[in-house]
Amino acid sequence: MPVTTKPLTAAERRWIKEVNALLKKCPSDRLQGFTIGDHDVVVFDGSRMPEIDEYMQKSGYKRDFCTACEDLDLLLGKFGFPFPVHSTAG
């Protein structure tokens, strides 16, 4: 028999709403993020995507995206979540 997920508590709903409202106030279009499947979302300079793409292509795609951003000194900060942020594709 499948297990049913419990609905969010009022406090959980309020927290999610507050975090989303704050994130929508981002003052810049260049800030982008990625995660490698830990507690952090890393913020990087997304205005330099062509440079990241070129760097990865020249390496024969042997460099991961996160490593390319680090090699190019594009990391700006990170958001540390109180829970794991899974890295998936979909």
User: Is 68 inside any structural domain?
Assistant: yes
User: Is 53 inside any structural domain?
Assistant: yes
User: Is 80 inside any structural domain?
Assistant: yes
How far apart are alpha carbons 26 and 24 in whole angstroms? Answer: 6
Exposed (0-12), middle (13-18) or buried (19+): which is 21, by Cβ within 10 Å? exposed
User: Is 59 inside any structural domain?
Assistant: yes
Q: What is the pTM of this model?
A: 0.85
pLDDT digits (tens, 9 = 90+) for 32-71: 999 998 999 999 999 999 999 999 999 888 889 999 999 9
- The residue range of the domain holding 70 is 30-90
Q: Whole-number mean pLDDT of the chain?
A: 94
Per the structure, the count of domains in the chain is 1
